[in-house]
Amino acid sequence: MEQERRSTVAPERAHAPHVARADDAISAAMDRYALGDQAAFAIVYDGLAARLLGFIRHRIRDSAVAEEILQQTFLQLHANRGHYVTGLDVVPWAFAIARHLVIDTLRKGDREVLVETDEPVSQAPHPDEALALRQSAAELRRRIHELPELQRSAFELVRLQGLTLAQAAQSLGTTVTAVKLRLHRATETLRLDPRDTDEQRMEPPQGGSR
């Protein structure tokens, strides 16, 4: 049964076998932890912490709050170790918990702000180009934040955090088809040049609709 479950996930991860192996190692460690092997949780932490923190930081600017949410996520994984079913993927479960906690925190405190990046753009040959890159990156981040929640979650999980479509679907409690659709819509929205959109809005309606 366990092999059967794994085999349903493996083909979708074929493009990144090292990621699939890492995720399987996390799940195996979680299984040992569910059975009482205390040391195995460190492996789960090491496999997930950076990815989860990146996901959380994309929505929560305050480092202390983001770290608190990360801690809560791991505490929930720990508290629910008895529920863990052998062979099931831990990664989407962890992201589902983190997302739930992030949304809960935002509802309570309205802490969502645009994340400012500290990424250097020194590779740009010219200061004007560096400025343009920085501005376009900021614009992209702003537009990701403006996406509807369902589209945004799908986009963040798949495009930014590298989850497979199946993992993202599990994390969001929906189907792979729904994730594909949300992803497509999000990508289309982000692809549109806002100036084009404004021009389209300014154009008088074609045809007979009033």
Partner 1 sequence: MSAGPDELRARILAAVSAAPAPTRDQHRVRAAAIYAAAAVAMAALFLLAGGVSHSEGRPAWVTGGIVAGEAVIALVVTWMALGRGRSMAGRALWIRVMTATAAPVAVFANLVAWSGSYVEPYARAGLRCMMFTTALASVMLLAITLVRRRTDATHPSAFGSAVGAVSAVWAGLGVDAWCPLTNPGHALVGHALPVVIVALAGMLVGRRFLSFATK
Q: What residues line the site for partner 1 (CB under 8 A)?
A: 5, 8-9, 34-36, 38, 41-42, 45-46, 49-50, 63-64, 67, 70-72, 74-76, 78-85, 88-90, 92-93, 96-97, 99-101, 104-105, 108, 169-175
> Minimal distance in Å, beta carbon 16 to partner 1?
19
Spatial distance between the Cα atoms of 202 and 141, rounded to a whole number of angstroms: 25
Q: Which of 123, 88, 100 is nearest to 8 (CA)?
A: 88
Q: Closest CB to partner 1 among 28 and 133? A: 28
Q: Closest CB to partner 1 among 7 and 209? A: 7
Q: Closest CB to partner 1 among 175 and 197? A: 175
> Minimal distance in Å, beta carbon 144 to partner 1?
22
Number of helices and strands in the chain (H, E): 10, 0
> Minimal distance in Å, beta carbon 122 to partner 1?
23
Instruction: Indicate the DSSP class of residue 164.
Output: -
- The phi and psi torsions of 60 (rounded to 5 degrees) equal -115, 115
Q: Is the dihedral of CA 144, 147, 149, 153 positive or negative?
A: negative
